[in-house]
Chains A and B, each alone.
Chain A
Amino acid sequence: AQSVTQLDSQVPVFEEAPVELRCNYSSSVSVYLFWYVQYPNQGLQLLLKYLSGSTLVKGINGFEAEFNKSQTSFHLRKPSVHISDTAEYFCAVSTQGGKLIFGQGTELSVKP
């Protein structure tokens, strides 16, 4: 069975600093991977996805993620964060049944 672990529940960072949000998954089959962002009291918005091809995936708002099959990781990065990036971030992995399994989320807090 697939599972997703987001290694940090909270990540505080100063504005314009780089950030990495970590995600590890477990699966015995090929997977598709996703990162979503959730602003307070809103639904989830897709940041980026890995389906196949290049392991470095670029998304919206300057975020990117790298798929590492040997380490079963899909970490999210941004070289310089803004106050507006403060939100909850969710990593998700597909299942063979077409559903998504989500991690517990990482709260990114960007301080001035």
Chain B
Amino acid sequence: SQTIHQWPATLVQPVGSPLSLECTVEGTSNPNLYWYRQAAGRGLQLLFYSVGIGQISSEVPQNLSASRPQDRQFILSSKKLLLSDSGFYLCAWSLTSNYEQYFGPGTRLTVT
């Protein structure tokens, strides 16, 4: 069966520090991968998605970047965090053949 992991689970970082969040998927090959951000009391905002290694599409201009160095690894990064980067970050995957997405447990990021 397929599983998706995210780490760390929680993170507190000062403004201006770098960020690296990791997401890995097991049990499937060549998945589509997604990064979402969920701000307090709001819905999900799609940040990035990837259909293959090295292929990243950005949905909104922002202080973040994403990379996919391996088929089942998706990384969210920032060189300098802003207060507005605080939120709950969710990684998800789907098969290329359908639209159903499966979500990881999320990372709670607090920028202080």
Contact = CB atoms under 8 A, between A and B. Distances in A.
Give chain B's interface secondary structure class. strand
A103 to B, nearest CB: 6
Interface of A: 32, 34, 36, 41-46, 49, 51, 90, 94, 98-100, 102-105
Q: Among A32, A43, A49, A99, which residue has the most Cβ atoms of chain B within 10 A?
A: A43
B32 interface: yes
Contacts of B96: 98
Given A98-B32, A99-B46, A103-B43, A45 B101 contact: no
Contacts of B32: 98
Contacts, number: 47
B100 A34 contact: yes
A98 B94 contact: yes
What range describes how many residues of B lie at the interface? 20 to 34
17 contacts: A42-B106, A43-B103, A43-B104, A43-B105, A43-B106, A44-B103, A45-B103, A49-B100, A51-B98, A90-B44, A99-B49, A99-B99, A100-B101, A102-B43, A102-B44, A103-B43, A105-B42
